[in-house]
């Protein structure tokens, strides 16, 4: 099977880009790949064909393919549906975005491991998603902030999407499935509150963690009951990265 797959160098030659660009697409989740026992990436020619089509259909000068829509493990193995033997699994019931993290929990967690191999490294789904970076959705209508975030996006170690209203926010969640959502409270107290609560109760992203960003007088007081994390304005890519790392460590400590 490995002989049918391409190296990053071969993929770069076919797409007329550098190997570093191919690696960047792999790490961001835009180009699926799996690792060999020696740690080298291998790419399915079918995925490379999709990337090639994306590039050909992109506006002139655009050299980044569209992200592949996120799939949960049961969607991946059920061709978009729910296999019968997944209905009672904790991964499905929790809508966990990373099944292999649930697998690390105690046996009584309810992970049925219906499609698990002897190790995660042998699992096709694991090879596809485990190197993908954290997804962060920023909700703001501040054009200056949006422009600043876009300019610094290449320096981020996470994937970024930006929405300027609740409607666009809901549309982006369909494919993007954020791990974290940063709500800019300068959009107004009521709007901040409404968007935050909708994010927290959206069944598509049950494990999302919401961060409110603003000045003390901008935070909606009713959100104090919801254990939101807070971040001061002004903020940028660096501040977002720092608070995400803090929340990740906090989550790891709770799991331990």
**Residue 64 belongs to a domain:** no
Pairing verdict, β 34-35 and 41-42: antiparallel
Q: Are residues 187 and 239 in the same domain?
A: yes
Same domain? For 190 and 218 the reply is: yes
Cβ burial of 3 (10 Å; 0-12, 13-18, 19+) is exposed
Per-residue confidence (pLDDT) for residue 162, from 0 to 100: 94
32 and 52 assigned to the same domain: yes
CATH label of the domain that carries residue 32: 1.10.1660.10
Contacts 24+ apart (CB under 8 A), 168-175: 169/137, 169/139, 169/195, 169/198, 169/199, 170/198, 170/202, 172/137, 173/137, 173/202, 173/204, 173/205, 174/69, 174/204, 175/67, 175/69, 175/70
Same domain assignment for residues 16 and 114 = no
- My answer on whether 146 and 241 are in the same domain is yes
pTM comes to 0.61
Q: Which of 114, 129, 144 corresponds to the end of one domain?
A: 129
Q: Same structural domain for residues 18 and 42?
A: yes
Total structural domains in the chain?
Answer: 3
pLDDT tens digits in sequence order for the chain, 256 residues long = 455 888 888 888 888 888 888 888 887 777 888 877 777 888 888 888 888 887 777 654 456 666 566 678 998 888 878 898 898 998 888 777 778 877 777 667 788 888 988 888 888 888 777 767 788 999 999 999 999 999 998 888 888 999 999 888 988 888 788 889 999 999 999 999 999 989 988 877 877 889 999 988 888 877 766 656 889 999 999 999 999 888 877 755 444 4
Within 13 Å of residue 175, how many CA atoms lie on the same side as its CB? 12
CA distance to 130, 150, 157, 230, per residue, from 153 (Å): 21, 5, 9, 21
> What is the SS3 assignment for 18?
coil
Q: Are 180 and 136 in contact (CB under 8 A)?
A: yes
Does residue 163 sit within a domain?
yes
166 and 97 co-located in one domain: no
Residue at which a domain ends, from 83, 105, 129:
129
Contacts by 224-232, CB closer than 8 A, 24 or more apart: 226/196, 226/197, 226/200, 228/196, 231/182
Look at residue 236 and tell me if it is in a domain: yes
CA distance linking residue 127 with residue 244, whole number of Å: 24
Say whether the peptide bond before residue 210 is cis (omega within 30 degrees of 0). no
Q: Are residues 49 and 87 in the same domain?
A: no
Enclosing domain of residue 165: 135-255
Q: List pLDDT tens digits, range 143-198.
A: 999 999 999 988 888 889 999 998 889 888 887 888 899 999 999 999 999 999 89
């Amino acid at each position: 099977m490995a002989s049918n797959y391409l190296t990053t160098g071969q993929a770069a030659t076919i797409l007329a880009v550098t190997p570093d660009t191919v690696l960047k697409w792999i790490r961001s989740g835009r180009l699926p790949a799996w690792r060999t026992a020696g740690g080298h990436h291998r790419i399915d020619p079918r995925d490379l064909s999709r990337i090639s089509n994306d590039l050909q259909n992109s506006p002139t000068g655009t050299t980044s393919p569209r992200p592949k829509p996120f799939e949960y493990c049961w969607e991946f193995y059920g061709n978009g549906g729910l296999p019968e033997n997944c209905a009672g699994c904790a991964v499905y019931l929790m809508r966990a975005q990373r099944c292999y993290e649930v697998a690390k929990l105690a046996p009584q967690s309810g992970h049925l491991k219906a499609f698990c191999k002897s190790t995660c490294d042998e699992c096709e789904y694991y090879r596809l998603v485990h190197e993908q970076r954290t997804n962060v959705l920023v909700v703001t209508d501040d054009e200056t902030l949006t422009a600043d975030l876009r300019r610094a996006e290449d320096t981020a170690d996470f994937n970024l999407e930006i929405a300027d209203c609740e409607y666009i926010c809901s549309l982006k969640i369909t494919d993007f499935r954020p791990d974290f959502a940063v709500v800019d409270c300068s959009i107004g107290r009521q709007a901040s509150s409404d968007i935050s609560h909708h994010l927290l109760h959206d069944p598509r992203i049950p494990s999302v963690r919401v961060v409110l960003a603003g000045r003390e007088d901008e935070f909606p007081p009713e959100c104090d009951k919801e254990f939101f994390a807070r971040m001061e304005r002004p903020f940028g890519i660096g501040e977002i990265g720092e608070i995400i790392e803090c929340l990740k460590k906090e989550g790891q400590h709770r799991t331990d």
